[in-house]
Amino acid sequence: MTWQNQLIIWYQNNKRHLPFRETNDPYKIWVSEIMLQQTTVTAVVDYYKRFIERFPDVETLAEAELQEVYKYWEGLGYYRRAKNLHLSAKQIVTNGQFPDTYEDLLTLTGVGPYTAAAIMAFAYHQSYGAVDGNVLRVIARLKAIKSNIMDHVTVKHITSIVNEDISGYDPSAFNQGLMDFANAICTPRNPKCDECPIRESCTAYQQHLENVLPIRIKKVKRTESSFITGIITYEDSLMLVQNSAGLLENLYGLIQFEVDSPYSFIEQFKEAYGVDLIIDCFLDDYKHVFTHKTWYMHAYHFIVNTPDHLPLYSREDIKKLPIPTAHLKIIKNHY
């Protein structure tokens, strides 16, 4: 059985019952998708019900006063969404019909690629993959994609995979299945691989990379630096280097390189020290603010099997070394 079929079966047995899943009406789906932007499903349900009761179709919404629309949005936040919804409702009524192509949906104010794809799939049953951060994570793991999912090239690549893999399957069940699955099983931290219905098709799982992928590194401003920072261990000792220059001169710190992937880190490390590293898992993201500079540190755990000449320190040694605060936090939490 294909992973898509396994996912859909899982979804049928485990789906969350939500009012906006019980309709094919593009207007109602559009309202729910706009509400779901930046807001959790649980928070949206009651707002959605009240909104649809008062504004059951696009004409009623277009005729309403903006003040009243805001009133029904009160508490949901990001009020620009309500304004855009009202504006687009007027636009739709003027055009005479609800847009029914991906391109036309994108012309509505406040509708981006994700929302347009979701409406195409849920209302019109077209093979469009609605790709958000959750779907990026699942597909990056399933296909062991090692490039940065914050990079638009990776997003494009994953979107094309999803659009290909959805073909021939029920687009609604596939997309909603992926969402619920991402939420319940393939979670950002410690995915529940033991309970996973698509484990056999998951390359990250086979390669023990489920706690490494996806790579998710934000671009930083010029006054900021972004590092991959390594907790590099050999048995119970930790690698630290004494900095000869820079902000942390003379202090002992973790190894870090200004690269955007732990795999580039492994390459740079090999060049610098001639030793191979094995990636174990992603640990956490850290931020440290110096007077004129901010560091973003993406910490990963790496293992060395051949310590050779590497500067490795025991726990006792480390207590005596001067270590900068920026790295002390990471060491305390993960070593």
Distance of closest approach, residue 8 Cβ to ligand SF4, in angstroms: 15
Backbone angles phi, psi at 234, to 5 degrees: -130, 120
From candidates 140, 186, 254, 279, binder to ligand SF4 by CB under 6 A: 186
The piece of 26-34, 88-96, 198-206, 249-257 that touches ligand SF4 (CB under 6 A) is 198-206
From candidates 31, 198, 255, 279, binder to ligand SF4 by CB under 6 A: 198
**Would you call 235 a catalytic residue per the annotation?**
no
> Applying CB under 6 A, does 180 fall inside the site for ligand SF4?
no
Closest CB to ligand SF4 among residues 138, 232:
138
The piece of 89-97, 104-112, 156-164, 188-196 that touches ligand SF4 (CB under 6 A) is 188-196
- Of 24, 32, 26, 66, nearest to 48 by C-alpha is 32
Sequence-distant (6+) residues with CB within 8 A of 110 are 34, 80, 81, 84, 85, 88
Q: Which amino acid, one-letter code, is at 166? A: I
Cα distance between residue 76 and residue 222, in whole Å:
34
Binding mask 115-144 for ligand SF4 (x = CB under 6 A): -----------------------x--xx--
Distance of closest approach, residue 31 Cβ to ligand SF4, in angstroms: 31
Using CB under 6 A as the binding rule, the residues of this chain from 206 to 265 that contact ligand SF4 are: 210
Q: Which of 22, 33, 200, 258 is catalytic?
A: 33
From candidates 89, 131, 145, 202, binder to ligand SF4 by CB under 6 A: 202
Closest CB to ligand SF4 among residues 130, 198:
198
Tokens at 231, concatenated? 């907790």
Binding mask 141-160 for ligand SF4 (x = CB under 6 A): xx------------------
The piece of 36-44, 125-133, 199-207, 262-270 that touches ligand SF4 (CB under 6 A) is 199-207
> Applying CB under 6 A, does 199 fall inside the site for ligand SF4?
yes
Q: Give Dmax over CA atoms of the chain in angstroms.
A: 75
> Applying CB under 6 A, does 280 fall inside the site for ligand SF4?
no
The piece of 45-53, 59-67, 204-212, 274-282 that touches ligand SF4 (CB under 6 A) is 204-212
Helices (H), 39-151: 41-54, 58-63, 66-73, 80-95, 102-106, 113-124, 133-142
* Residues 5-17 as b or e (16 or more Cβ within 10 Å = b): ebbbebbeeebee
DSSP one-letter string for 20-66: GGS---HHHHHHHHHHHTTS-HHHHHHHHHHHHHH--SHHHHHHS-H
Cα distance between residue 89 and residue 249, in whole Å:
60
Are 161 and 142 within 8 A, CB to CB? no
Q: Running DSSP on this structure, what letter comes out for residue 163?
A: H
Closest CB to ligand SF4 among residues 149, 186:
186
Cα distance between residue 233 and residue 239, in whole Å:
6
Q: Catalogue the active-site residues.
A: 33
Residue ranges binding ligand SF4 (CB under 6 A): 138, 141-142, 185-186, 191-193, 196, 198-199, 202, 204-205, 210
